[in-house]
Structure formats: C-alpha cells, structure tokens
Amino acid sequence: MLHYRMDGPGHGEPLVLGPSLGTSLRLWEPQLPALARTFRVLRFDLPGHGESPVHQVGTVADLAELVLEAAADAGLDDFHYAGVSIGGAIGATLAARRPGRLRSLAMICSSARFGDPGSWHDRAALVRSEGTGPLLEATARRWFAGPPDRALLDDLAAADPAGYAACCDALAGYDLRGELAGITVPTLVVAGRDDPATPPAHARELADGIPGATLVEIPGAAHLAVADQPERVTRALLAHLPAVPGMRVRREVLGDAHVDRAVARTTPFTRDFQDLITRYAWGEIWTRPGLDRRTRSCVTLTALVARGHLEELAMHVRAALRNGLTPDEIGEVLLQSAIYCGVPAANAAFAVAQRVLTEELGEPAP
C-alpha cells in the first residue's frame, strides 16, 4: 500500500492531495495549515517515493487504484482531490473512470498528455541505470521559477530508481485527451505561467475539454507552483473547495452564483465570519433532520421580515423558490408576518419579494 498521512479534523470534508513525480507528501506542506483547518486531509507518497514501497505499476490508472486503496484504508469512500503534475493526472483518471469516488478535482501544473512517450521511456532507462542524480540540475530549473527548495530536491535524490522509473513509464502511456468531456465533477485547473514542463497551453486544453472547468494562471510559478507561489495556490484551492462543513448545503439553498460572489469577496478580515456562518448556520442548523428545507425557509422569511433585514430577505426569497415554495406560499408567509411582525414590515417585505419573484420567474408573480 502507498504510504499516506492524515491531518485535520475527523469531521472535515475528505480531501486527498497528490504529489508530483520526484517529490513526497512534503510538497503540500505550504498549503497544509490552511487546508487541514477544515478538511480531513490525506497526503500520499508515490511508489518508491518518500516512505512508499515500490509497486509494480504500468499505467496512471494503476496509480489511481493504489490511491483508492489508501483512501479506503483511511475510511474515505469519496473525497475531494487535488494533485500536482502526475498527481493531477491520477485525479483526472479517477474523475473520468471512477466518477462516483470524487467530489471535486483540482489539477495543478498538470496535463491530459505529458509530451512524447519516448522521452519518458528514455528517462526511465537513465534512472534505472544511474539513479536520479543526473536529473537534479535540470529538474531544479523545471520545478522552480524562484530559489529552489532544497528539501524537495532531496526527495528527488532519495527516490527509489525502480519506483521513479515505473512512474515515468506510466506517464509515457498516459493520454486522457479523449476522456476529458466525461469529467463531470467541479474542476479547477491551475497553471504556472513560467512552467516549462506543462506550459499554460496544457492547462487551457484541460479547461477547454472539461465541462465547466475553472482556469487560474499564476505568474512567477514554474512546475511546482505549490512551492513557488504557495499563497496564490492556496487561495485558488480555497475558492474552489467547499472549505467548511455546510458549504454544500449553502450552495444548494442559495445557489452557486451567490456563494461564489461571497467567497470572492472574502478577505482576511472577514474569513472567520464566513467560516462561522457556513459551519454553524448551514452545517449545523440547515442540516438538522427535525425540519425540512421548505419549513426552514418559511421560518427564515418570517424572522427576516420581523427584523427588517431586506437584503437578506431577497436572498432567502430566491432560496425559498429553490427549496420548493411557490409564489403563493411565499405570499402566505408574508401575510402571516403582517399580523405578527407588523404591517409596515410586511409591506416592505412584499415589495422586495415582488421584485425577486419577477426577476426569477420572468413575469409578475400572482
């Protein structure tokens, strides 16, 4: 089995992080504090890398099955996934061929095909003959736009030649270009603008081929963007991932467009507040089994009318429609509120609701 390490709270959404060829799970250390704050994070070592033993693998699909084996050992049935280079290829393979296992995908400095197969077979032969030492100087130039991270280069130097070469052979046979359209999970593609190994054109091919994929290009980053520009990669991941429990429910009730705008406006000053409302309002209250979402919408509309929170009211009129209330039922809630919250408050609420219903339904609501 692949060596893996778990971090983060046991109740957090599961997230698997895949490394690049020649690195170990330490590659993700710059992102780990932010991700493990809310996610249950599994990092793994490739065969013959870090603390993983050498495995007989011939394809990237074989590597993907080893990742599923490690995830199952950790109790993860399905999970979010982010991977760098070959790690991204593993995630894309899972998304295309084992779609029920991934909740979302992030491919960082990765590709649907990593160049000419012959060059990978040549590199495999070199490493089997002479080890990874001859690769160090050229790899440092590919990996880093800034000063090289010596610890990551030490990982390359320490990689088992047989394990590294097997991964090279797997990359030689990897070509997912014809399967990109079958990836249906939310997908983020991150490119380093100074990446000579998988230039931005590779990322654009991924983003164009995967339905609905988001593309982020990061300046000043070579192939190991997670090490070159760690804060920018972390921000891109946090914007992509449902960062706290309740994010899935928040999106289902309020809609992706609203939540995406809220996430985009998040600053270091407001981050903890966003975490609070997502974790407790959406993760603790809206998910309780005692009331269905229709009833919770009725209660929420009444409370917002009573307090005069008209901007929030507009948002929750839209949410009420999404939760299955009809315009007539929303009107009944506001009529009830007129008696118990006051006519002026209900008058203002009707005006807000009428505007929202007209916008959402395309014509004045009955």
Here the CATH number for the domain that contains residue 334 is 1.20.1290.10
| Least confident interval from 57-66, 139-148, 217-226, 276-285 | 276-285
Helix runs in the chain, H state only: 32-36, 60-73, 86-97, 117-130, 136-143, 150-158, 161-172, 200-209, 225-228, 230-240, 247-254, 256-264, 271-276, 293-307, 310-322, 327-341, 343-361
| 57: in domain | yes
| 354: in domain | yes
200 and 300 share a domain? no
321 and 186 share a domain? no
Is residue 366's pLDDT more than 60? no
The total number of structural domains that make up the chain:
2
Strand order in the sheet with 187-192: 4-7, 39-44, 13-18, 79-84, 102-108, 187-192, 214-218
203 and 309 share a domain? no
121 and 222 share a domain? yes
185 and 294 share a domain? no
Is residue 2's pLDDT more than 80? yes
pLDDT at 364: 56
Alpha carbon of residue 229 to chain centroid: 18
| 19: in domain | yes
237 and 299 share a domain? no
pLDDT at 109: 98
- Asked if 93 contacts 69 with a C-beta cutoff of 8 angstroms, the reply is no
51 and 111 share a domain? yes
What percent of the chain has pLDDT above 90?
81
Task: Provide the mean pLDDT of the chain.
Answer: 94
Distances (CA, A) of 90 to 82, 175, 365: 9, 12, 49
225 and 293 share a domain? no
Is residue 245's pLDDT more than 70? no
184 and 322 share a domain? no
| 222: in domain | yes
| 135: in domain | yes
317 and 234 share a domain? no
pLDDT band (50, 70, 90) for residue 275 = confident
Q: Is 8 left (phi over 0), alpha (psi -120 to 50) or beta?
A: left
With a CB cutoff of 8 Å and minimum separation 6, the contacts of 119 are: none
The CATH number given to whatever domain includes residue 136 is: 3.40.50.1820
| 251: in domain | no
64 and 154 share a domain? yes
Q: Rounded distance, CA 214 to CA 186, Å?
A: 8
Report which residue type is found at 50: G
pLDDT at 63: 98
Residue 310: domain span: 289-361
| Least confident interval from 26-30, 256-260, 281-285 | 256-260
What sign for the dihedral angle of Cα 48, 49, 53, 58? negative
Is residue 352's pLDDT more than 70? yes
Report which residue type is found at 76: L
172 and 313 share a domain? no
